[in-house]
Each structure stands twice: as structure tokens, then as C-alpha cells.
Structure 1
Amino acid sequence: MPHTISEEALLAMTASQYMNASQREFFRKRLLALALECEQHLGNARNNLQTPAQADPLDAAVEEETCRHQLRFMARQQALLGKIRGALRRLQNGDYGYCKISGDPIGLPRLLARPTTEYCAEVKARLEQNERHYAHQRTG
């Protein structure tokens, strides 16, 4: 079992060491910690939703708005949890760290910033550009 390394040690590795056992273990632990954090946030949000309704109309309105915010937060956390689980599956399959479209390495700095990413920066920029183009066509 490879030992856990620091971000600095990770970034100091050569390109030929990309996605070696130490790097995979580093990201596995990071993704598992993110998943646990998401699950805790979801549990806290669920508990917050279980507070009793207020009899006062103004308090009830505030409660309703808070509830809407909690539900949006929970939806974002659920989506992130799905991405984390997908990243863990890619890690297990040996696809983690490589662009889903081009197959090129995503790169350690990008993975450190966004461990759930599926695309290298160039492909992601192209996808976002296409998205903006099509959104502009729909609204224009």
C-alpha cells in the first residue's frame, strides 16, 4: 500500500510518474474525504429541514424561504456526491486523471483544484465555448 504524499511532493513528480500508485492513493483519499464531507452536509441539511413550522405568517414565510435554500443546497451536494462517486469509479477502473474525450492527461494542478473533473482544460474550454454558442443561438 503506497504511503500518502503531500501536494508538494505530488507536484514535484515527473510526467512519467503520472497516475502512479502514490498519486492514485492521494486522490482516492481526497475523494473519500470529499464524499464524507458531502454526506455530512446532506445530513445536517436534512436535520435543518425537520424543524417545526411556525404559526406566525412572517416566520412561516422566512421558514419557507430557508427551506428552499436548503433544498437547493442539498441538490448541489447530491450532484457533487454523484461526481465524487463517478471519480472514484474512474480511479478504480484506471481512467481517473485522463480526459474523457481526448484521453490526454488532465494534469495534477487541475485535479488538485477540481478532483472530480473528467476533462482536460482544453477540452473543457471547447465544451464551454460550444455551450455558450448554442445558448446564444437559442436566445438570439
Structure 2
Amino acid sequence: MKPEIFLPDDYRPAEDEPFMNDRQLEYFRRKLNDWKHELLAQSAETLEGLSESARSVPDVADRASEETDRALELRTRDRQRKLVVKIDAALRRIDEGEFGYCEKTGEPISLRRLDARPIATMTLEAQERHERRERVHRDD
């Protein structure tokens, strides 16, 4: 088992440190785990809210409004579920030593990008190329 890594509360990965050193990896591991726990808590609240709102509403307009709200909640929950899968994949990449490197080019992903979107798997440039290719193929 690895020793616990001390991170000050105000720690932020910096460009002048070795890329993906133990402190940076621990920072991103904690950030991802916190995000995951937050999403799971919101998901539990959503389920609780949906089960409470599963009552019969006699007014047709109120019932339609409640169904719309319910559909929105379910879509949100599905997005959160997909996000949790991506977070788990990022945590796996940390454990496997692949986190922070572009899956297309192998280049380091910028710390600013990872801090903003820790589930990123590509550098900004590779992501933009990928999206341009997707648009071109979608337009065919």
C-alpha cells in the first residue's frame, strides 16, 4: 500500500513541478472522488424526489408539468450516471499511470485543462481535431 500523500488545502498542480508526480496524481484522485461522491449524492436525492412525486395528480396541466419535470430529472440522472462512468475511467487511468496523457498523441494534457475537466482524455488540440472530423462525417 502506498503511503498517504500530504496535500495542503490550497495546493494546485503547477507547471514547474514534474508532470503527474505523486502530489498531482493525488490532487486529481481527490478531485475526481469528491466529484463522484457529489454526483452520487445528487442522484440519491433525485431518486428520493422522484419516488415522493409519484403521486396521482388530478389536474391535467399539473400532471403534464410533473411529467415534464420527471423526464428532465431522469435525463439529468442519466447524464450523471454517464459522468460517473467517465470519472471511474479517469481514476483507473490514475492507478494505471496513464492519467494526464492524450489517448491519441501520448502528449501531456495541460494542467489547466485537467483542472477544469479532470475526465479529459485528449489534449485540447486533439479534441478539437476529433470534433472537426466528427462534424465532417456527420454532415456526409
Distance 1:56 1:23 in 2: 55
What is the identity, as a one-letter code, of the residue corresponding to 2:38?
Answer: E
User: Letter of the aligned partner of 2:39 in structure 1?
Assistant: C
What is the letter of the counterpart of residue 27 of structure 1?
F
1:49 corresponds to which residue? 50
Identity %, equivalent residues: 32
Report the Cα offset of residue 53 of structure 1: 2.9
The unaligned stretches of length 5 or more in structure 1 are none
Normalised to the residue count of structure 2, the TM-score between the two structures is 0.90
- Kept in 2, the 8 Å contact 1:105–1:120? The answer is yes
Question: 1:13, 1:94 → 2: CA distance?
Answer: 20
Q: How many residues align?
A: 134
**1:20 and 1:13, CA in 2 relative to 1: closer, same or farther beyond 3 A?**
same
Aligned alpha-carbon RMSD (Å)? 1.3
1:12 and 1:122 map into 2 onto residues whose CA distance is 19
- Cα offsets for 1:38-78 (capped at 9, x unmatched): 10111111112112231221111111000110011001101
Deviation sequence 1:3-45 (CA, Å, 0-9, x none): 114354x22533xx00000000000000000000110111111
Q: Which residue in the other structure is 1:20 paired with? A: 21
Give 1:37's aligned residue. 38
Q: Match of 2:14, SS?
A: helix
Deviates more, 1:95-104 or 1:51-60: 51-60
Structure 2 portions without partners, runs of 5+: none
- The equivalent of 2:62 in structure 1 is 59
Q: After TM superposition, where is structure 1 displaced by more than 3 Å over at least 4 residues in a row?
A: 5-8
